[in-house]
Amino acid sequence: MSSFGGIVDEIPNVSIDRFDGKNLHSTAFFLSHCHTDHMVGLREIEFLNLLSKNSDYFLYCSEISYQILMNTALKDVKENLRILSVHEPCMVHVPASLHFQESQALTLSTIPAGHCPGSVMFLLESPSSTVLYTGDIRIAKGDIQKFTQLQRADGCAKRIDALYLDTTFLDPKYYHFPLRKDSGMELCRLIQEWTDQSHRHHVQLVMPAKYGYEFLYVEIFKKLGIKVHVTDEIFKLYQNVAEVESSLTANPEKAKVHACQQKGFFGFRDYLSCLRTEHKLRCIKCSAMWYQKSDKEAVQELSRSKDHFHQIVYSSHSSFSELVDIVKYLQPKKVVPCVVPDRSSEYKVSRILETILGERSPKCKKKPLDHQAGSSRVLEFKYLKRKSREWGRDADARAAIIKKAYEDLPSPPRPKVEYGD
């Protein structure tokens, strides 16, 4: 799934589109997470040249994503990268260009996406439209309601005109996934059970994708004190990302857990090519593709095994029920699926989304404003409502008013949503 661009036409006169090396429709680009191999055109020389030769073209990302990008080719266009503070709204100025006559100002908020370190959702707001672009997400049921950026002053969900949604597992056969912290505990149990037997007992982790398993690496180090051996490329990528870097090693002789297999390797073998010494091997594959549970199946299975080969259910993307929870809470006017699930179709995904949108959630019970007296969200609501008549059609004046509104108000309370849920 590409989380690079994709938002088009929802906010009048502003186009934030996918860069394919040939066509460019914007002067603002948003990087929702740091998986550089999944980004369309991110390493293309045309895109790098575009940033380096235009001082008013920027790539926006989170601080952690920025640190990761500094270990890639993007370090050469450092001056064109902009770090966004999670939870704190800011103004994004899109200058006039060939594609739109007037400069535009948008309120941009970043919201933790839970997919991997540095991953964020983008909430873009103008006086007339609101768009939420999720990128890859893993948000547990009920947690979407904890983000104040998605709430109005009365506590109800904001109106979302278009929701660009990670639909990787929007299929009823992937109805439920265990929380990642539970998967992490099961993985640590299988590792410790094997490695405690002798110094020759090693574990190989089979990861179907190149990224997205950082949570597991950190859990293994925290709970077992074991660093995970990864390739030199992956180790270098997470330099300066303290929590992840401390759980990894590029030296196979200093590890008993190895995630250094070549990308695309899915099977089992009884040896590790990175070790020269004699060893015994347990292989553990971390994936959610095999875990198909309908809403009627209550038994929660965390792993299954055959001989020395084990499978752990692990997903860094939201399950079907989690996606339903997000859509029902936000009740957007339109949902744009970003991915077609395995063995599904665009038609099936569209029908599922139509069904979800047709099932209206209970109407939000508005909280009396008196109960929120003094809160930043109420002050923001009152301020913007009072000033809205002054916006008119002057984009610069509108940008100045919104910017002042956020500068004058304290930051909203940060939701307590733990990474890995």
Tens digit of pLDDT at every position of the chain (421 positions): 223 333 333 444 333 333 232 222 334 566 766 544 444 567 778 888 888 887 778 888 888 888 888 888 788 888 888 888 887 888 887 766 645 567 777 888 999 999 988 889 999 998 888 999 998 999 999 999 999 999 988 889 999 999 999 999 999 889 989 999 999 999 999 999 999 999 999 999 988 887 789 999 999 999 999 999 999 989 998 988 888 999 999 999 899 999 987 554 445 566 788 887 888 899 999 988 887 766 555 456 788 878 778 999 999 999 999 999 999 999 999 999 998 888 888 899 999 999 998 876 666 766 654 444 444 444 454 545 555 555 455 555 655 655 555 454 444 444 444 444 4
Q: Cβ–Cβ contacts within 10 Å for residue 302, how many?
A: 17
Q: Measured between alpha carbons, how far apart are the two ends of the chain, in Å?
A: 21
The per-residue pLDDT for 297 is: 58
DSSP code string of 192-222: HHHHTT-TTEEEEEE-SSSSS-HHHHHHHHH
Q: Cβ–Cβ contacts within 10 Å for residue 377, how many?
A: 18
Phi, psi of 89 (to 5 degrees): -65, 150
Find the helix packing angle between 346-358 and 320-330, rounded to 10°. Answer: 50
On whether the CB atoms of residues 191 and 258 are closer than 8 A, the answer is no
Cα 6–412–162 angle (5° rounding)? 25
The per-residue pLDDT for 375 is: 44
Phi, psi of 36 (to 5 degrees): -65, -30
Q: Residue 387 is encoded by which pair of tokens?
A: 């000033």
In the beta sheet, which residues pair with residue 122? 110, 133
Q: How does pLDDT run across 188-218, given as a tens digit for each residue? A: 999 999 999 999 999 999 888 877 899 999 9
Q: How far is CA 403 from CA 89, 105, 107, 229, 396, in A?
A: 9, 10, 8, 46, 10
CA-to-CA distance for 3 and 35, rounded, in angstroms?
9
In the beta sheet, which residues pair with residue 106? 92
Cα 337–58–237 angle (5° rounding)? 75
The per-residue pLDDT for 320 is: 93
Q: Is 114 left (phi over 0), alpha (psi -120 to 50) or beta?
A: left
On whether the CB atoms of residues 344 and 168 are closer than 8 A, the answer is no
The per-residue pLDDT for 11 is: 42
Largest CA distance in the chain: 76
Q: How far is CA 292 from CA 60, 115, 169, 179, in A?
A: 36, 20, 10, 15
In the beta sheet, which residues pair with residue 228? 248, 257
**Average pLDDT in the chain:** 77
The per-residue pLDDT for 73 is: 77
**Coil, strand or helix: which one is 403?**
helix
Amino acid identity of residue 248, one-letter, is L
For residue 99, the 8-state DSSP code is T
Q: Cβ–Cβ contacts within 10 Å for residue 365, how many?
A: 8
Taken in order of first residue, the domains within the chain and their CATH numbers are 28-173+319-408 (3.60.15.10), 180-313 (3.40.50.12650)
Q: How far is CA 181 from CA 56, 212, 228, 337, 349, in A?
A: 42, 14, 18, 27, 29
